[in-house]
């Protein structure tokens, strides 16, 4: 990916355009951290990029953004620009294409994201990004209060970067986040969830939750931070009453609801393990501080995992009871399911046949 990105820079240079890798990739490369997204900035306009790379797609000429698949790798290319006016504390509505790198970097959010790499693989550091990366601190480019008011999403991005990178947040930036916290009410819950998901999924999640609490964002985000950290973010969402607030997929909602229901059970017995499955129950175990090994062992020793595992067929039940097939079959399977899971009945044909014969 890196070599392909350098090749792309050289291609733009061949047409007398300036071009650099910018943002998260240079930052992560500098601290030997794996990164998968490569953003490129250039003084070429979207139309000029399109002329060079015929297959590129102009995402937004308004924002100078182009997508390009180059050597089977997707790149985002943005034109150097100044952002003159923001709308709803989120989106720039007036931009101006420019020709120099420094002014483009000055519009960005945090200094750690202003490190660049040129076509020779050399770092370009115009705003002391290396110093702040070395000192492990998140600082705004320019006035923190102005930056946060321009785009309130930066509040959550600051917490996310601090969490994932294990960096501190600059005191001026903390003050700006607190001062403008109510502006987060304007931010869509989709965007809030995106950032919280990354914080919840980080191995350093505890620190992220501490920052959310310190910066007084719990009520604004409709969450609480005194929750048990689980290996899946869904286990954490399940401890929050936000299903009707944040946008979840159908599968996410189903899993979260199942975790909530399983949490109400007294213990993780066979019936609970069978009903909700290993994934949900291990998350419940994490929340209730039940040993995972114990849960897995109990799950692996379940006598059945679905009704299909019960050792008798519907026509055999009808024969034993001397009845035609009907809705009663479902009730019988439910009864057999409960008896087998409760270890009151062995899951083999003869035992089940004997049990049914005594029910006649």
CATH of the domain at 123: 3.30.460.10
The answer, yes or no, to whether residue 277 has pLDDT greater than 70, is: yes
Calpha distance 190→185 (Å, rounded): 12
Top mean-pLDDT range of 40-54, 100-114, 161-175: 161-175
Within a domain: 302: no
SS3 category, 88: coil
Is the same domain home to 72 and 118? Answer: yes
In a domain, 19, yes or no: yes
Q: How far is CA 33 from the centre of its chain?
A: 18
Nearest-10 crossing angle of helices 314-321, 328-341: 100
Give the closest residue to 151 by CA, choosing from 192, 120, 183.
183
Regarding whether 115 and 12 lie in a shared domain, the answer is yes
Whether residues 147 and 110 fall in one domain: no
Q: Provide the pLDDT for residue 246.
A: 95
pLDDT at 90 over 60: no
In this structure, are residues 340 and 303 in contact, taking their beta carbons and an 8 Å threshold?
A: yes
**Nearest Cα to Cα of residue 15 among 56, 40, 50:** 50
Indicate if 124 and 175 belong to the same structural domain.
no
Q: Is 237 inside a domain boundary?
A: no
Is residue 1 domain-shared with residue 75, that is, in the same domain? Answer: yes
Which of 85, 115, 134 delimits the end of a domain?
A: 134
Give residue 53's pLDDT: 80
Q: How far apart are CA 191 and CA 129, in angstroms?
A: 26
* Placement of tokens 């899946």 in the chain: 232
Structural domain includes residue 266 = no
Residues 106 and 14 in one domain: yes
In this predicted structure, the answer to whether residue 33 has a pLDDT above a threshold of 60 is yes
144 and 204 part of one domain: yes
Residue 238 inside a domain? The answer is no
Q: Please check whether residue 295 lies inside any domain of the structure.
A: no
Q: Is the pLDDT of residue 349 over 80?
A: yes
Prediction pTM value: 0.85
Residue 242 placed within a domain: no
Do both 61 and 109 map to the same domain? Answer: yes
Q: How confident is the model at residue 74 (pLDDT cuts 50, 70, 90)?
A: confident
8 A C-beta contact, residue 36 and residue 30: no
Confidence of residue 45 (pLDDT cuts 50, 70, 90): confident
Looking at the fold, whether 141 and 160 belong to one and the same domain comes out as yes
Question: Does pLDDT of 87 surpass 80?
Answer: no
Same domain, 185 and 107: no
Q: Are residues 90 and 35 in the same domain?
A: yes
In a domain, 50, yes or no: yes
Predicted local confidence at residue 300, as pLDDT: 96
Whole-number pLDDT of residue 339: 94
pLDDT of 56 > 90? The answer is no
- Residue 97 pLDDT > 90, yes or no? no
Residue 167's contacts (CB-CB under 8 Å, 6 or more residues apart) are: 112, 136, 137, 138, 161
Expressed as residue numbers, the domain containing 323 is: 307-357
Average pLDDT, the chain: 90
- Residue-wise pLDDT for 304-313, tens only, equals 999 999 999 9
Same domain, 149 and 119: no
Helix, strand, coil % in the chain, rounded to nearest 5: 50, 15, 35
Domain end marker among 226, 246, 271:
226
Q: How many domains does the chain have?
A: 3
pLDDT value at 91 more than 90:
no
Mean pLDDT of 209-230: 96
Q: Is the pLDDT of residue 62 over 60?
A: no
Domain ends where: 134, 162, 187? 134
């Amino acid at each position: 990916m890196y070599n392909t990105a350098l090749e792309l820079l050289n291609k733009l240079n061949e047409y007398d355009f300036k071009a650099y890798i910018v943002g998260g990739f240079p930052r992560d490369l500098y601290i030997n951290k794996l990164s998968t997204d490569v953003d490129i900035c250039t003084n070429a306009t979207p139309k000029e990029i399109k002329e060079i790379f015929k297959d590129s797609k102009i995402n937004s000429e308004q924002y100078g953004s182009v997508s390009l698949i180059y050597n089977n790798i997707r790149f985002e290319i943005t034109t150097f620009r100044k952002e003159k006016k923001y709308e709803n504390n989120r989106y720039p509505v007036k931009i101006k294409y420019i020709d120099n790198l420094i002014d483009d970097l000055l519009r960005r959010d945090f200094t750690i994201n202003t490190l660049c790499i040129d076509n020779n693989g050399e770092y370009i550091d115009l705003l002391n990004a290396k110093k702040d990366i070395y000192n492990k601190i998140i600082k705004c480019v320019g006035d923190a209060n102005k930056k946060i008011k321009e785009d309130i999403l930066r509040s959550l991005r600051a917490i996310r970067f601090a969490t994932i990178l294990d960096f501190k947040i600059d005191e001026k930036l903390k003050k700006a986040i607190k001062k403008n916290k109510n502006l987060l009410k304007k931010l869509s819950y989709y965007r809030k969830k995106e950032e919280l998901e990354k914080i919840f999924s980080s191995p350093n999640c505890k620190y992220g939750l501490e920052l959310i609490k310190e910066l007084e964002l719990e009520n604004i985000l409709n969450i609480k931070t005194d929750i048990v950290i689980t290996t899946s973010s869904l286990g954490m969402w399940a401890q929050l009453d936000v299903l009707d607030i944040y946008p979840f997929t159908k599968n996410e909602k189903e899993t979260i609801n199942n975790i909530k229901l399983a949490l109400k059970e007294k213990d993780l017995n066979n019936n609970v393990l069978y009903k909700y499955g290993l994934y949900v129950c291990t998350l419940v175990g994490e929340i209730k501080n039940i040993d995972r090994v114990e849960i897995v062992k109990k799950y692996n020793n379940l006598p059945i995992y679905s009704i299909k595992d019960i050792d008798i067929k519907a026509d055999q039940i009808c024969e034993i009871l001397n009845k035609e097939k009907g809705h009663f079959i479902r009730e019988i399977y439910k009864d057999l399911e409960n008896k087998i899971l409760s270890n009151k009945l062995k899951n083999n044909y003869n035992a089940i046949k004997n049990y049914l014969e005594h029910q006649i």
